[in-house]
Amino acid sequence: MRHAGVIFDLDGTLVDSRLDFDAMRAETGCPEGIGLLEYADSLPPGEAQRVHEIVHQHEMAGATAAVWVPGAQAWLRALQADNVPTAILTRNSRPATELTLSRLGIEVEHVLTREDCRPKPDPQGLLMIAAAWGLPCENLVYVGDFLYDLQAARAAGMHAWFYDTGMHPEFGPLADRVIRDFDTLLA
Ligand SMILES: [Mg+2]
């Protein structure tokens, strides 16, 4: 199936930065069932700052360790060779995202980080990219590996594709398409 444009989540979808979310939750005291950013927002400013610093340290370490997800680089190249516009929407910080992209040589037309828009599952970032391209959302795909990615795609009216790493098979039924191996998209 050919789409007008493809937007990617970064962590766990295009790259594996080996972020240890369990360690981040333990260090910050963030309970299960709430995102780290949302948890920070719920705290008084001083405590929120401490949570943001812990998240930042993990994200920068992750950016230094990040590797391509198998097959993702080839699919991204194939899309770009086909003149399909590509973008990245991530909840990561701008510094961690830029370090990851420069280390791995990832170039797409638009990169939105949590400094640029409300975090997923809010669809704001996806809508901003669609507007920048001047393309209707129903012709665009958002590919991600987590519930928030699927919810953001749905809320934006885009196709929701789920990259199933095996950690969250329960999200598969919420997606329009489940990908277990990016190489299958090149066939
Ligand atoms: Mg992800």
Report how far apart, in Å, the C-alpha atoms of 51 and of each of 35, 48, 59 are. 12, 5, 12
Backbone dihedral angles phi then psi of residue 43, each to the nearest 5 degrees: -100, 160
Q: Phi then psi for 34, rounded to 5 degrees?
A: -140, 140
* Same domain (yes/no): 160, 101: yes
- pLDDT for res 2: 66
- Structural domain containing residue 49: 21-65
Same domain, 52 and 76: no
Quickly list H helices, the chain.
21-28, 36-41, 45-65, 72-81, 94-104, 124-133, 147-156
Task: Report which of 79, 81, 183 is spatially closest to residue 140, judged by C-alpha positions.
Answer: 79
SS (H, E, C) 103-121: HHCCCCCEEECCCCCCCCC
| HSE (side-chain half, CA atoms, 13 Å) at 186 | 14
* Cα(163) to centroid(ligand 1), Å: 9
Q: What is the pLDDT of residue 21?
A: 87
Count of structural domains within the chain = 2
| Domain at 162, CATH number | 3.40.50.1000
115 in the same domain as 53: no
Question: Rounded to the nearest whole angstrom, what is the distance from the C-alpha of residue 77 to the centroid of ligand 1?
Answer: 20
Q: Decide which of 46, 65, 84 is a domain's last residue.
A: 65
Based on the domain organization, do 50 and 90 belong to the same domain? no
17-42: per-residue pLDDT in tens?
988 889 999 999 999 999 899 999 99
9 and 42 part of one domain: no
Mark the ranges of the chain whose per-residue pLDDT is less than 70: 1-2
C-alpha 145 to ligand 1 mean position (Å): 5
Cα of 13 from ligand 1 centre, angstroms: 6
Q: Is residue 9 within 8 Å of 142, Cβ to Cβ?
A: yes
| DSSP 8-state class, residue 143 | E
- Cα–ligand 1 centroid distance for 50 (angstroms): 23
Rounded Cα distance between 135 and 102, Å, is 27
Query: How much is the pTM?
Result: 0.91
